[in-house]
Amino acid sequence: MKVNADLEKMGECVTSNPYLNELYNIVLRTHRNYINDVPADPNREKQGWTQDAQNMFTTAAYFTDVKGLYKRWWRDMADNQDEQGYLGSVLPVVNRQVYDWNSPWWSGVLVFLPWEHYKFYGDKRILEEAYEPMRKYVDFLGKMAKTGEGKNWNAYPYFKEDLDIQAAKEQMIIWNGAGDWHNPTTKGQFAVPAPMTTMPAYYYYADIVRKTAVLFHKTADVKKYSSIAYSIKERFNAKYFHPETGMYGEDTKSQTGQILPLEVGIVPEGKDSLVYTRFLDAIHARNDHHAGGFIALPFILQKLATQRESVLSNKIVNQKDYPSWVTLSKEGVLQEDWNGGGAQMPSCGGTVGAWFYQSVLGIQPDKNVAGFKHFVLAPQPDTATGLTSAKGYYDCIYGRILSDWKLENGSFSLHTTIPVNTKATIYLPYNNMESIMESGKRLGEVVGVRYLSTIKNAVVLEVESGEYFFQNKN
């Protein structure tokens, strides 16, 4: 008999593609199996590994109400933080630290989780509580970056691998732990050199502390962490970025190397488009299979969703050979690695659950507005994989966001509800505004709908709260 936390359902997604429906239920089943007192594998691990939660938070928040569960588990993290600012990789534990497989992408969930929690639920109180532990952790990473300055960090248990002395002299964090764990393209965890994963994490967390300081009008800290983030960005790009080609590192097939700088915002100004092209090249170089592990995969799927790469992302998710969600699943649940082995957990592939909401249904949070007060609705059909209709919802704190769409005989229709006190930017897959009707009226006649632009074969609208029936006329 399985026992799990009684989490309230917050979302649902049903599609015209039977395989996608099966995959959705596999992810949901694994999520529910995995959550009891803390996120933990029910069969083998039975421990709260920090990265496992970092990977799965977005999917978990779309599926179920995890506000209280993750906040309580975050408090276990804060209780475990030592005077150096270090955090163990397994929580909760009592009067000890766990150093195994740790890195900024593992214990950095101490910083990551409060900000993601705020983005989903719009509640600043967790950031108020988390601010000092977050700041302390980023300061700890600053110490880790100074291993080349004569400090005897080998005396600490954080390093279980040999130091890269040259990287340390350049103030690169080489504390890599599990790295991009279970990256399907490598035998070990090290898909890229350690600083190519750790330095983007360091930048990401410093920027989160900066943004939190802005929220709370902590002027001195805004200046401090802005300076830290700028310094990280300069050092990292000087070492790894090739501005002429847009490549990070030397491996043209590395999706990890390209996606992390893109999604944390460390790419030099004006170069995002070039780096994004190299990222797509890296996917095509793997025959349109993903090549991301615990760290990279959530960012890969998120980027494809926000860029509305529906054909490519659907091709990746619908692949059946290695590495795919077919090879990852076993007996109706997700496993730890892409061969279907290891512990039962949603941490490696569970991020595809968020993809169902952000790509298939198109319900995406606005990165600049917390709590879905403003959000993006960009449903993304794909005829090649039989994704011609989908219906689902997400219950944000303001109410239900409905996305019910169909592509039939070249005509696309969308029924949606925008909750009271919210607005949405809607991307409709049409070529021009003149082809769109809402409840039988032309857009110019509809109160609460404003045309913004037409980009990448989509008409972009700003929509007030209400219920809408959009359709393009042939």
424 has which bridge partners?
375, 463
Mean pLDDT of 160-174: 69
- For 179, other C-beta atoms within 10 Å of its C-beta total 26
Kindly state whether residue 366 falls inside one of the protein's structural domains: no
Q: Are residues 310 and 387 in the same domain?
A: no
Within 8 A by CB and 6+ apart from 399, the residues are: 417, 419, 420, 422
Cα 162 versus chain centre, distance: 30
Per-residue model confidence (pLDDT) at position 433: 82
Q: Are residues 356 and 396 in the same domain?
A: no
Kindly state whether residue 147 falls inside one of the protein's structural domains: yes
Kindly state whether residue 7 falls inside one of the protein's structural domains: no
What SS3 class is residue 422?
A: coil
Return d(Cα 383, Cα 408) in angstroms, integer: 10
Mean pLDDT of the chain: 91
What SS3 class is residue 227?
A: helix
Residue ending a domain, choose from 335, 360, 385: 360
pLDDT at 149 over 50: no
Q: Are residues 347 and 381 in the same domain?
A: no
Mean pLDDT of 263-278: 98
Residue ending a domain, choose from 360, 389, 408: 360
Q: Which tens digit of pLDDT belongs to each residue from 208-222?
A: 999 999 999 999 999
Mean pLDDT of 174-178: 83
Per-residue model confidence (pLDDT) at position 150: 42
DSSP letter at 144 equals H
CATH classification at residue 441: 2.60.420.10
Q: Are residues 288 and 234 in the same domain?
A: yes
Per-residue model confidence (pLDDT) at position 190: 73
Per-residue model confidence (pLDDT) at position 159: 56
Q: Which tens digit of pLDDT belongs to each residue from 327-343?
A: 999 999 999 889 998 88
Structure tokens at 126: 């967790």
Q: Are residues 51 and 195 in the same domain?
A: yes
pLDDT at 156 over 80: no
Element containing residue 455 per DSSP (H, E):
strand 449-455
Kindly state whether residue 368 falls inside one of the protein's structural domains: no
Kindly state whether residue 371 falls inside one of the protein's structural domains: no
Q: Are residues 126 and 254 in the same domain?
A: yes
Range of the domain at 467: 377-472
What SS3 class is residue 452?
A: strand
Q: Which tens digit of pLDDT belongs to each residue from 111-136?
A: 999 999 999 999 999 999 999 999 99
Cβ proximity of 64 and 10 under 8 Å: yes
Give just the sign of the alpha carbon dihedral 395, 11, 292, 88: positive
Q: Which ranges of 241-373 does DSSP label H, i.e. alpha helix?
A: 255-264, 272-284, 296-306, 310-317, 325-328, 352-355
Q: Which tens digit of pLDDT belongs to each residue from 226-255?
A: 999 999 999 999 999 999 999 999 999 999
Cβ proximity of 435 and 468 under 8 Å: no
Range in 73-82, 269-278, 296-305, 375-384 the model is least confident about: 73-82
Within 8 A by CB and 6+ apart from 378, the residues are: 305, 308, 362, 364, 426, 427, 458
Per-residue model confidence (pLDDT) at position 154: 52
Kindly state whether residue 356 falls inside one of the protein's structural domains: yes
Per-residue model confidence (pLDDT) at position 16: 98
CATH classification at residue 172: 1.50.10.10
Return d(Cα 465, Cα 393) in angstroms, integer: 15
Q: Which tens digit of pLDDT belongs to each residue from 414-440?
A: 999 999 999 999 999 987 788 899 999
Return d(Cα 37, Cα 26) in angstroms, integer: 21
Cα 262 versus chain centre, distance: 12
Return d(Cα 223, Cα 308) in angstroms, integer: 35
Q: Are residues 156 and 225 in the same domain?
A: yes
Q: Are residues 341 and 387 in the same domain?
A: no
Q: Are residues 89 and 165 in the same domain?
A: yes
| More confident call, 170 vs 322 | 322
Kindly state whether residue 127 falls inside one of the protein's structural domains: yes
| More confident call, 146 vs 195 | 195
Residue ending a domain, choose from 360, 388, 419: 360
Range in 94-108, 228-242, 347-361, 382-396 the model is least confident about: 94-108
Cβ proximity of 457 and 401 under 8 Å: no
Q: Are residues 356 and 417 in the same domain?
A: no
Element containing residue 56 per DSSP (H, E):
helix 50-63
Q: Are residues 175 and 285 in the same domain?
A: yes
Kindly state whether residue 112 falls inside one of the protein's structural domains: yes
Tally the domains of the chain: 2
Q: Are residues 318 and 395 in the same domain?
A: no
Q: Do you find a cis peptide bond into 298, omega within 30 degrees of 0?
A: no
% of the chain beyond a pLDDT of 70:
94
| More confident call, 101 vs 38 | 101
